[in-house]
Amino acid sequence: MLFIGWVLRQVVAVAEREYYDPANIQRALIELETQLDEGLIDEKEFERREDVLLDRLEEARQWANGTL
């Protein structure tokens, strides 16, 4: 049972690092802008998704500083 707990903690740690990686969030913002430029999404959808990513970027900063 201890091994399963350790494995789960490792999986969560990796997932958090990827989720809170500012470079991943920046790439997502660039991709979002590309979708807008190519007409794949409208301005309203862009703004909604951009807000989510910017909130996540702020969370990432807090997570990196240990304040989340």
pLDDT at 66: 84
Q: How confident is the model at residue 12 (pLDDT cuts 50, 70, 90)?
A: very high
Q: pLDDT for 15-63, tens place per residue?
A: 999 999 999 999 999 999 999 999 999 999 999 999 999 999 999 999 8
Tokens 């809170």 -> residue: 20
Contact 9, 49 (CB under 8 A): no
Would you say residue 68 has pLDDT above 80?
no
SS (H, E, C) the chain: CHHHHHHHHHHHHHHHHHHCCHHHHHHHHHHHHHHHHCCCCCHHHHHHHHHHHHHHHHHHHHHHHCCC
Q: Which pLDDT belongs to residue 2?
A: 85
pLDDT band at 67; cut points 50, 70, 90: confident
